[in-house]
């Protein structure tokens, strides 16, 4: 039945679905690093703006500011103070390598390299070239890691790496201190 003003309207007590929200961690060369809640469909630029914008030392050439965000993602903006010594593999500009979704959610950080500033290799972002830099990981195992990630989605925990054929408890323990999400 139309409302008294002639238009259709929802009853005042109707509960409308709340828009999906994303929780992202913004760090690095932004004015106010921290955890921010953004609307679904937000992009890296939206997270940067929520964090007060870029600092003067921000390096955005290796960051895809247009990349979509996923819940739990970490957006890491590199700075002139924290540039990695080398960057291997192909990146989509927001931290993902070789076509693997940067949305390593739960924990994806967005930087120019899948290695973090403390030289950890992000197993949700690193390509074969970077994974082979890990002790005990050859090209075949690195390719299996990338293939598993593409087929099954990002690793939710470091231990999920053991789902890859060829990585058992012993090899995982040897890698644990060199990897991150």
For residue range 88-129, list pLDDT tens digits in order: 333 333 443 333 333 333 333 433 344 444 578 899 888 888
- Cα–Cα nearest to 167, from 98, 99, 179: 179
Which pLDDT value is given to residue 52? 94
Distance of CA 100 to the CA centre of its chain: 10
Q: What is the dihedral of CA 137, 127, 69, 111, to 10 degrees?
A: 100
Q: CB-based contacts of 62: which residues, under 8 Å, 6+ apart?
A: 78, 87, 91, 93, 111, 112, 113
- What 3-state class would DSSP assign to 46? helix
Question: Structural domain tally of the chain?
Answer: 1
* 97 inside domain: yes
* 8 inside domain: no
Burial 12-50 (b: 16+ CB within 10 A, else e): eeeeeeeeeebebbbbbbbeebeebebeeebbbbbbbbb
Which pLDDT value is given to residue 136? 87
Residue pLDDT, tens place only, 21-39: 888 888 888 999 888 899 9
* 2 inside domain: no
Which pLDDT value is given to residue 153? 87
* 107 inside domain: yes
Distance CA 150, CA 154 (A): 7
Beta bridge partners, 91, equal 97
* 121 inside domain: yes
* Percent helix, percent strand, percent coil in the chain, to nearest 5: 25, 15, 60
* 82 inside domain: yes
Distance CA 131, CA 137 (A): 7
* 9 inside domain: no
Q: Which domain holds residue 82?
A: 21-180
Distance CA 171, CA 181 (A): 17
* 13 inside domain: no
Q: What is the CATH number of the domain that holds 134?
A: 1.10.150.320
pLDDT for 141 beyond 80: yes
Altogether, the residues listed in the chain come to a count of 181
Question: pTM higher than 0.85 for the full model?
Answer: no
Q: Give the HSE-up count for residue 69: Cα atoms under 13 Å, Cβ half-sphere.
A: 29
């Amino acid at each position: 039945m139309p409302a008294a003003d002639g238009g259709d309207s929802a009853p005042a007590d109707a509960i409308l679905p709340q828009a999906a929200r994303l929780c992202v961690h913004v760090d690095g060369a932004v004015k106010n690093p921290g955890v921010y809640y953004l609307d679904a469909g937000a992009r890296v630029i939206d997270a940067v703006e929520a964090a007060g914008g870029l600092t003067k030392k921000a390096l955005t050439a290796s960051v895809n500011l247009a990349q979509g965000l996923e819940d739990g993602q970490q957006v890491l903006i590199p700075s002139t103070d924290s540039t990695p010594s080398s960057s291997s593999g192909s990146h989509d500009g927001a931290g993902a390598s070789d076509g693997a979704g940067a949305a390593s959610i739960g924990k994806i950080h967005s930087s120019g390299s899948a290695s973090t500033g403390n030289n950890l290799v992000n197993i949700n972002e690193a390509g074969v070239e970077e994974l082979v830099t890990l002790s005990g990981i050859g090209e075949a195992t690195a390719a299996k890691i990338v293939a598993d990630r593409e087929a099954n989605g990002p690793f939710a925990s470091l231990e999920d790496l053991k789902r890859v054929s060829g990585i058992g408890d012993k090899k995982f323990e040897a890698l644990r201190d060199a990897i991150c999400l």
